[in-house]
Structure 1
Amino acid sequence: MIRKYITEKRSWLLLLAVLQAIIIFVAYVDSSIPLLPVLYIVMLNTLLFLAFVFLRYPRETRFYRSLEAWDQIYDLQAVVEPGSPMEQIVLEAVSAQTDRYKRESSVNYQLLESEKDELLSWIHEVKTPLTAMQLMIERLTDETLQRQLMYEWLRIHHLLDQQLHQKRIPFIRNDLFIEKVSLAPILNKEIRALKSWCISKGIGFDVDLAAEEVLTDGKWLAFMLRQLLTNAVKYSEDSDILIRSSEADGHVVLVIEDSGQGIDPRDLPRIYDKGFTSSRVRQESAATGMGLYLTRQVAEPLQIRLHAASTPGQGSVFTLTFPRENDFQRLTGM
């Protein structure tokens, strides 16, 4: 701050230096004026000025230091009262701008909330005709056409499901209900939803749940498993998907392993980035780059650790490590 203060006052400092130089020059040129007393006066003026600057510095920078430390959260209470008319002008300008930003942000927030509510309402309304379409597709006698239509129906269904949960994720902590949840019913439901797609691709499931219960929110866990199982089926052909659970150091560990095309090692650190699609599947229109991103977003508040390992051409392994009960107690302060 002192460097900025000196820069701000440099024109005044330069004026003082020029005035003192003129006095010395006049005394030097005019032999009737003794030079030594003049130098003494100049030295006293300089010392007096430096003392004045030293005393005035805290007072003149107090307002600007508080403004510099202001966290810009639209609350000007942390900014001290101005001590000069110029500081008052600055404060009034900042206050006016802050009020305008408050109004604009309030309007934008209301618009976003309105659009979110409309989108959620639309998604729920679309689910009704989607359910009717599913019943119609199941009645088709042409099995090839039925499989093709069911695949497209599943894509639409999962895209809508992703959009619905994406809008809810910012408020997920208000929606959590942590309890002991059985893995088998959730996995069976998600596997059944993918049955027609798996049959058309010759994919089966090998499920071995040595640890059957986990501490989590069942609804959000189902969403996470839906994304992981959908990815496993999407990138696999004529193979089994292995699902197994075990307990290690008080944590339940759930492993989902497929024998699909795998993930390039260069892409592995970025698979949870929003909108990222692997370079191996970049040309596939089915890839949105949102599934794993949303999975990671849900895993964080659930205290679930996600780990991915993959070998190109051999498949991928996703590991979910669930928290112990003590982890949630420390988190909530219970």
Structure 2
Amino acid sequence: MRIWQIEHLGEGPFLAQTTTPQPAAGQALVRVEAVGLNFADLLMRDGKYQVKPALPYVPGMEMAGTVESLGPGTLGPAPGSRVLAYVGQGALAEWVCAPADRLLPIPDTMPFDHAAAFPIAYGTSHLALDHKARLQPGERLLVLGAAGGVGLTAVEIGARMGAEVIACARGAEKLAVAQAAGATILIDNDTPDLKAAFKALGGVDVVYDTIGGEMGEAALSALRPEGRFLTIGFAGGTPPQIRANHLLVKNISVMGLWWGGYLNFAPDVQDASLRQLLAWYAAGGLRPHVSHSLPFDQVPQALDLLAARKSTGKVVITRS
């Protein structure tokens, strides 16, 4: 079978051949139909992600496909089941052996590209807004990086939870995508004085920060007393510098959220969240936005789209 492999940090993946794996006890063999790409794939490639796999490794953190077989004595979705999974790494292969207990059946109405785009982006936003920040109907939510893979789901889920959503993204095209997902107030990243623009909003209750740096610091200043600042990622390159005395004076909470970490210390929380999200999808309540769908042999081009910030929502790799 074909796999994409990274041999050296900082270098792109190359296409290689290997034998099709056989599932061990507790595993399922999945024919991979689609793989969702994430900004974290770029960070992992460059050795800047919190998880540093041993080299060489196969990239790809989330996937969707069809169960082909189960390992000896393994209980799990029956062969033929359509499933999605978060695997952390290794998804960019034609077949993957994954822990059977990580596979979630997907709705009949869900195409594989939507399923592959689903776990990390929607899971991150739902846990952050619901489990961590306890976002309430009528509150104001400011999303930084609102047209990206994770930020766009925060807009959509925040609107579904009854919040007034303010989207910050670069350019009219990306802001239009955020508006279609449920944002009602739009702010361009290139606004000359973002801090003043955020303060002019009259206060927000929750900030969802995927960018970090000076933009995150500017958004922090817009929080109302007892506001919650969610630090999700640092696509801008650096974390925001947060002064503890500002948190004290304004009674503000800063909350970190690494969705993948829940698999290690609270997998039941992660699983319940994903099942809720899949139920919302099945009921027509969520609409994943896949701006680019590329075939398996174009993984380097797909990663370039992410690196150049040319995508909105998700970039997905399909089997053919």
Structure in which a larger fraction of residues adopt helix: 1
TM-score band (shorter)? under 0.3
Structure in which a larger fraction of residues adopt strand: 2
Larger Rg: 1
TM-score (norm 2): 0.21
